[in-house]
Amino acid sequence: MKTLRTFLFLSFLPVLPLFASDKISRRILAMQKEVWQEWTQRWQVESATASPAPFLPLPRPAADKPVTATLTWHVPDSLEPHAEWRMFHGTKGERPAAGFPCYLYLHGSGPSESEWHTGLVLANRFDDAPSLWFVPRIPNEAGWYRWWQRGKQWALQQLLRHVLASPDVDAARLYLLGISEGGYGSQRLSSFFADYLAAAGPMAGGEPLINAPAENLSHTAFSFLTGANDETFCRNLLTERTGQTLDSLARKYPGEYVHRVELIPHCGHGIDYSPTTPWLSRHRRTPQPRHFLWDNFEMDGVKRNAFFNLEVLEETAEGRTAYEFTAHAETNELELKVWSVTYETAQSDSRWGIPLVFHRHLSPAPHGRLRVFLSPELADLSRPLRLSVNGKTLFRGKAKVEKRVMERAVALFGDPLRLFPAAVEVEW
């Protein structure tokens, strides 16, 4: 069993680049194996969300027998009172050698019990096997019926760590999708947690982009299907605006913004949901990109403190902060641009007052402090490197390979594909 787990762990890891010295490569691989084993053992002991493995087949609803939750987590009362994160979960098909692709489905805003069971029906019906599915029921209704609220954020973070710690899950194939209210939720959450996802697929939704910045989707394949006649709350117009923005980003950054945004002709709020998961399944994560954008937006009063390989230690207090990271392989240079961001509404809907079009204004962030995690995928750790922020060099030299850095990275991300062995801290 130990040999199998070692093989499964090593299969998570990318091949280290040839420019990394053999000595450094061997040291990093040995350290990754040790740190990841320590982390998964600790997570299984300490986590209240731990469940037995292997995963069982996804339950199938029957007309004469109600299906009950297969997994229940208690959400802290400080985040949402009296909230239980109840889920159906299970597998479809035989386990692939690399582990199951994992799908999280968010249901719509009708009566939560029936919407939840409909989600289970759809999860069984969608053509994506082999796969592992999680179908949660929203804990409370009324004012708590939004998937992006902080209690649900906490549950999603727990779920991400839960599946990434399992040898039965392919860490490079995590997918998020939802319909109607689940479409709003999956759009916001995919922008918020884009660094964990291979792809996302909201349906029959539409968020103003101030709530779900498209910039964050640079390495998250994005499918968005909405009825062309779905005019309530401007869902069709907001979907169209999302597509236009992603088209523009794809032209500016070729290959980084893979997307399919379509308004389905002659359809209102009800559309064919079946095309989404086959499209999602074709995509894999890019966990350590050499270039990305990040608009660190607030969602229900919460901001991320890390994204891809950046950890925020201090931000400009007012408003949002946006980042652009570039790793130049040829010169071993790392370039960061950091901006303060403001949004100006240029057009709003006359009926609901929903903002449709924004002007996004960027100005250099006056101060901040960051930890930049590094790996052989991002820099040649055997040579000196240079790191600049807004054109000013803040670090020049070699980055140390240290176990404590990797331990910090795994505690921060809980991700076998981001076991960074080195880091540089900068302040301006």
| Cβ-contact 395, 368 below 8 angstroms | no
Residues 153 and 172 in one domain: yes
Assess whether 82 and 217 both reside in one domain.
yes
* 52/24: higher pLDDT: 24
Q: How far apart are CA 182 and CA 107, in angstroms?
A: 5
Q: How many residues does the chain have?
A: 428
Confidence of residue 1 (pLDDT cuts 50, 70, 90): very low
pLDDT score at 63 = 76
Out of 219, 254, 280, a domain closes at 280
pLDDT at 7 over 90: no
DSSP string, 63-93: TTBPPPPSEEEEPPTTTSTT-EEEEEEEEES
268 shares a domain with 120: yes
Pair 59, 198 in one domain: yes
pLDDT at 348: 96
Same-domain status, 228 and 147: yes
Kindly state whether residues 59 and 30 are assigned to the same domain: no
- Residue 102's pLDDT band (cuts 50, 70, 90): very high
Distance (Å, whole) CA 151 – CA 333:
40
Q: What is the pLDDT of residues 359-407, one digit of tens each?
A: 999 999 999 999 999 999 999 999 999 999 999 999 999 999 999 999 9
Strands (E), 14-168: 71-74, 84-92, 100-106, 131-137
Phi, psi of 201 (to 5 degrees): -145, 70
Judge contact between 390 and 281, C-beta under 8 A: no
The tally of CA atoms less than 13 A away on the side-chain side of residue 93 is 18
User: Is the model's pLDDT at 15 over the cut of 60?
Assistant: no
pLDDT of 318 strictly over 80: no
Q: In this predicted structure, what is the pLDDT of residue 365?
A: 95
Long-range contacts of 92-95, Cβ-Cβ distance < 8 Å, separation of 24 or more: 92/57, 92/58, 92/124, 92/128, 92/129, 92/130, 92/131, 92/132, 92/133, 93/129, 93/130, 93/131, 94/130, 95/54, 95/130, 95/168
Which residue, 156, 149, 145, is CA-closest to 116?
Answer: 145
Q: Is the pLDDT assigned to residue 17 strictly greater than 80?
A: no
Same domain, 26 and 56: no
Average pLDDT across the chain, whole number: 93
Q: How far apart are CA 222 and CA 106, in angstroms?
A: 16
Above 60 in pLDDT, residue 5?
Answer: no
User: Does residue 281 contact residue 101 with C-beta atoms inside 8 Å?
Assistant: yes
Q: Are residues 139 and 205 in the same domain?
A: yes
Show which of 252, 280, 308 is a domain's final residue. 280
Cα dist from 133 to 85, 119, 181, 299, 370, whole Å: 15, 10, 19, 25, 36
* pLDDT tens profile 204-248: 999 999 999 999 999 999 999 999 999 999 999 999 999 999 999
Distance CA 80, CA 166 (A): 27
CATH code for position 259? 3.40.50.1820
Domain that holds residue 199: 49-280
Residue 27 lies in a domain: yes
247 with 204, same domain? yes
Closest CA to 416 of 287, 269, 303: 287
DSSP structure class, residue 233? G
Would you say residue 200 has pLDDT above 70?
A: yes
For 262-289, what is the mean pLDDT? 98
Strand 320-328, strand 333-348: pairing: antiparallel
pTM: predicted TM-score of the whole model, two decimal places: 0.94
Is residue 300 domain-shared with residue 232, that is, in the same domain? Answer: no
Domain count of the chain? 2
